[in-house]
Structure formats: C-alpha cells, structure tokens
Amino acid sequence: VIIMAPASLILLGATVILQVDLLPDKKFLLLPPVNFTIKAINLAQVLLRWEPNTDQEQRNVQLGYHVKINAPQEEDYETRNTESRRITILHKGFSASVQTVPWNDRSLQPSSWVSAELRAPPGSPGTSIVNLTCTTNTKANNYTHLRPYQVSLHCTWLVGKDAPEDTQYFLYYRYGSWTEECQEYSKDTLQRNIACWFPRTFINSKGRDLLAVYVNGSSEEAVIKPFDELFALHAIGNDEQKPWTKWFLIAVMATICFILLTFSLICRICHLWTKVFPPVPAPKSNIKEFFVTINYEKTGSSETETEVISYAEEAGSETLEDSVF
C-alpha cells in the first residue's frame, strides 16, 4: 500500500493534466469550411462538396459538419465527410449551407455558415410541362431472359399553358445509375410530345431507389423550362398490404395475451404452480463467503480522506488491499 501510493498519485496528476489539456478554452474558434460547391451530377442528383479550413487551429477535438438544405425542401443533417450526395428535384433550384461543428464536444460553439446554390434552370414561365403522372408495370419475363422481371414505364403530361406551338418536349428517366431517353412518344394535334412509353426499363420493381423523371424542351420562340419529379415506387404497387398486416399482428398479439391470461388463471385455480415448479431447494453453499469492508478515516489536521477497501476471503488464502488517497 505504501509503495503504491506515490505511483497512483502520479497517475492521478497525469490524468488531471491531460484532461485540462483536452478541455478547450473559450478562445478556440471553429472556422467555417471553404470552397463549398454544389454540382448537379445526374438527373435529380447533386453533389455537395467542401474543404476543411486550412487556417483552422489544430486541437485534440474531432470536427464534423452540419449541413442545412434550404431549398427546394428544408432538411438538415451532420456528417464527418467533406462531400454529400443528395437526390432531389432541381427545377426549382437548390441551396444549402454548411458549418463546422465539434463532433463530440457540445460545449464548443459551431462555426459560422457558408452557403452555395444551384440556380433554377432558365426558361420562360408557363413553358414547362404540368401534371406529370407516371406508372410502372411489372411483368414476368420468359426464362430465356437474363432478368426475370420486366418493368415498363408510362408517363403522361400536359403542355405548359404558355408553351409556343413549336415546342417539343423530351423525357428522360433515371433509376440508380441508369439514365435513358424516351424513344416512343405520343403526340398532340400540334405534334408536341405529351406521353412516353418505355416497354422495358432498368427499374427494379423491388428496389428502394427513387425514380427520377426529367422533361426538358426546345422551341424557336422561347426557352422551355425543364421539369423534374421523383417517384417512390413503393408508394404505387404495396399500400394495400399494410392495414391487413397491422390488423393481423394485433389479432395475433391479442390471441397470445388471451391464451397466457387463461393459462395463468387455470394454473392459479388448480394450484398448478407448485406442481409444475416445486420449490427449489437451497443449494449447499460450498462457495467461500466474500466480505467487503469499507472504512472511512479522517485525519483532523491534513483534511485528507482515506478510503480503505479491503476484500478478504474467509479461508484466508489471499488478501487483497487497495488504497486510494
């Protein structure tokens, strides 16, 4: 005990010094990231990118980033990466802000924000398509095909009310990393495309990806504003199953509860408990009993508190002592 005391004192001191060093003072300022850019990398997909501030004072603090998407739809999240991909509609533009935040230590102040934006694509108002609706249809393929299912896509839309007569629209879809342009259009009386049919697509009807549909256009008289929309495939084929599943689960739970209740009642009535579970005889204890004694001693002069914890086995084979000052 006496030999160990200085060693543990040194250890304690070292821990305190280390903690003080780790504890950042109020002058430690977090700087916002630099070179924040937003780039459209695909249909309805953007890449947000930034760099850590090179002037940032290095301390033993882990840093992360708080990203706030302002448009087209508010969203915010934190990340330790310096880039982030988002799937989003882009015809209304896209804007976001990012700040440096302490990753674990909430006592530190986050940095100021830096912002960037992707402007809405140009075009005359009222020229983009409206009322876009898309449906998918899944059909089993014959066995000679590589893919067992074949998903077709059919989209219809209305011509923008201020679109010139010579407007022509073009539709593209993206599913995952696959992008395809429509080859089979239906036309209105002015020969403008108003519907599209893909007999087979790269869409996985069981996948979780969002389907992105993008329609742009051209005209001699005006710049045609593009339009894009995201479709959740699961929102179209699986909704009917949900209420049924829920009620089925509730019924199963209710049945289980009822059975358990009935069983416990029967058990009580017939005193089955004692028959099924006879009282367990207390095992003869061969285990050596374990004693823990805690003594507090206060020495009046030095105000030091001494805690002595001693563990002693009854058999006296080994004695362990530990002291903390």
Ligand X SMILES: *[C@@H]1O[C@H](CO)[C@@H](O)[C@H](O)[C@H]1NC(C)=O
CA distance 54 to 258: 66
Whichever of 144 and 286 has its CB closer to ligand X, that residue is 144
Smallest gap from Cβ 143 to ligand X, in A, equals 8
Nearer to ligand X, 173 or 203 (CB): 173
Q: 214 has which bridge partners?
A: 172, 228
State in angstroms the smallest separation of the CB of 94 from ligand X.
16
Q: Which is nearer to ligand X, 55 or 318 (CB)?
A: 55
Give whichever of 142 and 299 is closer to ligand X, judged by the CB atom. 142
Determine if 170 is a binding residue for ligand X (CB under 6 A). Answer: yes
Tokens (6 digits) for 285? 């204890």
* Token pair in block for residue 176: 């995952």
Strands (E), 103-167: 114-118, 130-140, 149-158
CB of 169 to ligand X, least distance (A): 9
Binding mask 94-113 for ligand X (x = CB under 6 A): --------------------
Of 58, 131, 245, 285, which one interacts with ligand X (CB under 6 A)? 131
H or E stretch at 5? helix 4-22
Q: Which residues inside 42-101 make contact with ligand X, applying CB under 6 A?
A: 51, 54
**Assigned token pair, 274:** 């004692």
Q: Which of 172, 185, 197, 202 binds ligand X (CB under 6 A)?
A: 172
Q: Which one among 218, 255, 264, 274 touches ligand X, defined by CB under 6 A?
A: 218
Residue among 34, 232, 253, 254 that touches ligand X (CB under 6 A): 34
Question: Per CB under 6 A, does 177 bind ligand X?
Answer: no
In 3-state terms, what secondary structure has residue 228? strand
Category of 123 on φ-ψ map: left (φ > 0), alpha (ψ -120 to 50) or beta: left
* Number of residues counted as binding ligand X (CB under 6 A): 13
Sequence-distant (6+) residues with CB within 8 A of 162 are 124, 125, 126, 127, 222
H helices within 180-240, ranges in order? 233-237
Contact call for residue 305 and ligand X (CB under 6 A)? no
Q: In the sheet that 75-79 helps form, which strands lie side by side, from edge to edge? A: 75-79, 63-71, 94-102, 114-118
- Residues near ligand X, by CB under 6 A: 34-35, 51, 54, 130-131, 142, 144, 158, 170, 172, 216, 218
